[in-house]
Structure 1
């Protein structure tokens, strides 16, 4: 009679044990999953992190060391890692403790200061080499150092002014003894300038021409250099533009200046022999004077900046130029200052009829010969 009761009790106990076993097994799996997920490590490589030196800056001068290093950060906390990786929210510094470093050159171990305990750091390189000297300040005269291009491009230096002429240089005691001169190095200048004005940091130079370490920022001076640009004379050539009016077969041009002076660097001047002068011949039916600005650019300066051009139209079938007011034919005036034009020789005049072709050609040839003898330019109309 008791066997069924005992069997039910045993079955219930067994079921409870299985339930407990499944419960603990499920929790154990969840905890293991959490542990596995939380063990992920994140990495960041930071470059050019400045090295902070700890020493008595009033007494010593330190030089010869690498000013930046690389730092490898790692952490399981992604948020904390991002804070340290971001320059704006970063708490750590790379420091070199020189408080007990003797005078001379030494190798110093670097360390990270102020880093969160949740983040680890590895510095590359782990050490730097520094030179420690007693700090001194001395006065030196400053001389301007011109770019090599000044001489190469043919500039003539008229005057150099440096202000202030004397500066105080702070550096190490031994370094100060090695200074032979202090210079103000000028950077390259733009073409076609006749004055250089620059404010520059000075440099301390030794007997071998090497730049020595001095306190940063270095003293500044203002340098003004007056220059004379190379110059040459070039000719002007007429380049007609526009369309001639009906009936005009040729033009003669008289220039107030046959040559102009250009100033610029030697390389620019060597490439220029003549300057084309654009002259608009549209609607020119009588002798006309125009003031034409001479084309230029930033590479050279031209003088004078403009010339006066007298434009004389030659009508078809005649050998003379006509005034639009009187209608009378007058012989084209000559000028010893006129120059040939750049109009292509392939442009030829055309006669209005086969009957007058011979006489027109003869008249134009006669006019051309006379004008060339007198110095005027004869240009066929387009």
Structure 2
């Protein structure tokens, strides 16, 4: 029989060992839990990543595939992920291996090459459809294709020059058989131009008008098109500006040109019937000739670009005007009449005086009618 003290010592030792085992077991589990809880995965979505197609470029022509894809990157290493996400420091490529692909159309699996082992990638989409043909080069004539707006806006095409007139087109053997014409498509031009000068890439077109795949970059040609702009005649209207001197009742204006020609697109010409001509009458006390530039803008051209105008002031006190005529005159009437004040009955004149006044009045009326028939424009001074 064991002594009680010895039994207690053994029991205590076993209890201590059991406690230590539990302690280390709990701490070990906690550390593992903490380590797994602190692991973080980072993500980056990259768009429009180019697809590198691997094949014998001297023998084959490849077309019909999507040239870019999206790539989803993920990694627990943030620094390494940033390096692959940045275009300047990126090591990976998306590759389509066609070295063993037969002629015709096939679906090719894409893969990532050169990616760090610390980063994983998922490609969207995972495959592309590719057409492989034997490579050929042929010579074709080039024709210019004008924008539809040229005809719609009423332009008349005088001459078209394409340089060079022929180009070499590299494409697939079957695609080359489908080419019916090679065009140089011109882009839309600014309004009121009479010559188009553009350098453009040619396009190969089939019988249905569809654009076919050819080697990139495509051949370039220079195109020059001489045009005649639509034109029409419009009248000029006078718009006096400035402050006339004291005593001037109004002005008359004689223009060297009554109408001018404007050139531009049909839509612009349809919106214009007359052109307003601003004329400064400040400090004009006698008959004055001025050359006035006709207002215009980038939408149309005016011929002639300027006209000569004779400005004749008419004074209120004497009702006289200083007028000069020469060249063609235009008449756009801006009348301003001042009625004479009636005389008191006590100041009636004699029969001979009345006759003289009547004769003078008739003379003034005759002069006014003659000025109107000669085409002068009259505008009030104020």
TM-score by length of 1: 0.87
- Following superposition, the deviation at residue 151 of structure 1 comes to 0.7
Supply the distance in 2 between the matched residues of 1:257 and 1:51 (Cα, whole angstroms).
67
Mapped contact 1:245–1:285 kept (Cα < 8 A): yes
**Structure-2 residue corresponding to 1:97:** 97
User: Which segment is superposed worse, 109-118 or 211-220?
Assistant: 109-118
**Structure-1 residue corresponding to 2:316:** 316
**Structure-1 residue corresponding to 2:35:** 34
Equivalent positions of 1:186-197 (< 5 A) are 186-197=186-197
- Following superposition, the deviation at residue 87 of structure 1 comes to 1.2
**Structure-2 residue corresponding to 1:338:** 329
SS in 1 for 2:373: helix
- Following superposition, the deviation at residue 317 of structure 1 comes to 3.1
Equivalent positions of 1:172-191 (< 5 A) are 172-191=172-191
Please, what is the CA RMSD of the aligned residues? 3.1
**Alignment pair present for 1:234 and 2:239:** no
**Structure-2 residue corresponding to 1:211:** 211
- Following superposition, the deviation at residue 280 of structure 1 comes to 0.3
**Structure-2 residue corresponding to 1:325:** none
Equivalent positions of 1:356-371 (< 5 A) are 368-371=368-371
Q: 1:380 to 1:98 in 2, by over 3 A?
A: same
Q: Which runs of 5+ in 1 are unaligned?
A: 323-331
Mapped contact 1:237–1:340 kept (Cα < 8 A): no
**Structure-2 residue corresponding to 1:149:** 149
**Structure-2 residue corresponding to 1:78:** 78
Mapped contact 2:71–2:123 kept (Cα < 8 A): yes
Give the number of the structure whose alpha-carbon radius of gyration is greater: 2
Q: Which runs of 5+ in 2 are unaligned?
A: 345-357
Q: 1:179 to 1:17 in 2, by over 3 A?
A: same
Mapped contact 2:144–2:184 kept (Cα < 8 A): yes
Equivalent positions of 1:151-170 (< 5 A) are 151-170=151-170
Mapped contact 1:195–1:226 kept (Cα < 8 A): yes
Q: Deviations over 1:244-302 (max 9, x none)?
A: 11100010001111111111111111111111110001111111111111100000011
- Following superposition, the deviation at residue 319 of structure 1 comes to 3.0
**Alignment pair present for 1:304 and 2:295:** no
Mapped contact 1:179–1:204 kept (Cα < 8 A): yes
Supply the distance in 2 between the matched residues of 1:123 and 1:268 (Cα, whole angstroms).
53
SS in 1 for 2:79: helix
- Following superposition, the deviation at residue 158 of structure 1 comes to 0.8
Mapped contact 1:336–1:375 kept (Cα < 8 A): no
Supply the distance in 2 between the matched residues of 1:76 and 1:354 (Cα, whole angstroms).
107
Q: 1:20 to 1:367 in 2, by over 3 A?
A: farther
Report the number of matched residues. Answer: 367
TM-score by length of 2: 0.87
**Alignment pair present for 1:123 and 2:123:** yes
**Structure-1 residue corresponding to 2:349:** none
**Structure-2 residue corresponding to 1:327:** none
Mapped contact 2:49–2:69 kept (Cα < 8 A): yes
- Following superposition, the deviation at residue 29 of structure 1 comes to 2.8
Supply the distance in 2 between the matched residues of 1:97 and 1:118 (Cα, whole angstroms).
24
Q: Deviations over 1:151-194 (max 9, x none)?
A: 11111111111111110000000110111110000000000001
Supply the distance in 2 between the matched residues of 1:8 and 1:106 (Cα, whole angstroms).
82
SS in 2 for 1:263: strand
SS in 2 for 1:143: strand
User: Which segment is superposed worse, 309-318 or 365-374?
Assistant: 365-374
Q: 1:165 to 1:21 in 2, by over 3 A?
A: same
